[in-house]
Amino acid sequence: MAHSHDVPADLTRNQGLVMGALNHSVGPLSAYDILDKLRADGLRAPLQVYRALDKLVERGLAHRLESLNAFVACADEHCHRKGLIAFAICEGCGKVDEFADAVIEERLGDWAQAKGFKVERTTMEIRGKCEVCVAQAA
Amino acid sequence: MAHSHDVPADLTRNQGLVMGALNHSVGPLSAYDILDKLRADGLRAPLQVYRALDKLVERGLAHRLESLNAFVACADEHCHRKGLIAFAICEGCGKVDEFADAVIEERLGDWAQAKGFKVERTTMEIRGKCEVCVAQAA
DNA sequence: TTCAATACGTTATAGCATAACATCGCCGCA
DNA sequence: TGCGGCGATGTTATGCTATAACGTATTGAA
């Protein structure tokens, strides 16, 4: 089922189109998936999609899933999320669950401080099966 | 500086070559980087490298870094590592630090249990700057 | 108006990964 | 000894992901 975000009004045309595609998808989409969905709207080249995605990710309206080379709309209604976000990706249905955990963030912070490592960005992705898909497999 | 692992004796020729390439590299290598290093040894096609990498990763002798599309030798001398492994990747020098954290693993386990999510694999990658590179930038 | 910054459009190319098919070598076993 | 299975290998072709390099257009502030 589609998400129900309001798209911020100050997005450019391409950014709005890409955001819309992500919002109307159940699961993550690759840049090329998005491109295919938006050819009818006039998009023709991957770069048009990648450029829009860059901005959306920068603003926290979308997230990149490194282990899938794909993108999802941010699940947080008003995009307040700060700091580390973890993703649980179901191999069965493709759905992605997004959550934050302060303890994990703190542990990472401790480790980084101890090592003198300056954290810029953290990726955390869990692959597996969601409750529904586990039940179906049984 | 190169790592100093002993390569397990039961690796096949290609697996041994790829493992060697990883062990002698300071930082992560892409499959194509590895291929280039091993052309002199007779490797010709990406698939030869990818197949070897699959086995090595399966055995825990190497790890895939999702956010780089690249691979590193496992840093644990005897490859005893179980469960979740986190990677800290320096954007400056390219070095990768590998560590485990039981608390983080536990928090993830709790989340998964609460959600009924069956975890199969977890990716955790921190991008940033290591102590040395932070100092140099200053 | 002029300039700078940002978005856009297009073509070409680079980089990462796997499909499909044939062959080979090893090992267990009749 | 010879058969048969299995996993590793070799090779070609192809598909997916991402960016370089160029030029134009739009916007907004001095």
A79's CB contacts (< 8 A; 6+ apart) are A59, A60, A61
A128 closest CB neighbour out of B103, B104, B118: B118
A126 closest CB neighbour out of B88, B108, B125: B108
- Range(s) within chain A of domains with CATH label 1.10.10.10: 1-77
Q: How far: B9 CA to C29 C1' (Å)?
A: 27
Mean pLDDT by 10 residues, chain A (138 residues): 62 96 96 97 97 96 97 82 90 95 96 98 97 90
User: Would the pLDDT of B42 be above 80?
Assistant: yes
- Among B1, B7, B37, B32, smallest CA distance to B19 is for B7
Interface test with B, best of A69, A87, A104 (most B CBs within 10 A): A104
Name the interface residues of B facing A (CB cutoff 8 Å): 66-67, 86, 88, 90-91, 97, 99, 101, 103-104, 107-108, 111-112, 115-131, 134
| A129 DSSP β-pair partners | B118
Interface test with B, best of A64, A97, A120, A123 (most B CBs within 10 A): A123
Q: How far apart are CA B20 and CA B103, in angstroms?
A: 33
**Averaged pLDDT of chain B:** 92
Please check whether residue B52 is in contact with residue B15, taking contact to mean a CB–CB distance below 8 angstroms.
Answer: yes
Question: Considering only alpha carbons, which residue of chain B is nearest residue A96?
Answer: B117
- Range(s) within chain A of domains with CATH label 3.30.1490.190: 82-138
CATH 1.10.10.10 for the B1-77 domain, yes or no: yes
Please check whether residue A49 is in contact with residue A43, taking contact to mean a CB–CB distance below 8 angstroms.
Answer: yes
CA A35 to chain centre: 17
User: Would the pLDDT of B136 be above 60?
Assistant: yes
**Averaged pLDDT of chain A:** 92
Question: Considering only alpha carbons, which residue of chain B is nearest residue A127?
Answer: B121
Task: Determine the topology of domain B82-138 in CATH.
Answer: Dna Ligase; domain 1 (3.30.1490)
Q: What are phi and psi of A24, to 5 degrees?
A: -95, 5
* Nucleic chain D contacts, Cβ below 7 Å: A 30-33, 45-47, 50, 69-70; B 12-15, 42-48, 51-52, 55
Q: How far apart are CA B98 and CA B103, in angstroms?
A: 16
Residues A64-96 have pLDDT tens digits of: 999 999 999 999 866 666 789 999 999 999 999
pLDDT of amino acid A7: 72
* Nucleic chain C contacts, Cβ below 7 Å: A 12-15, 42-48, 51-52, 55; B 30-33, 45-47, 50, 69-70
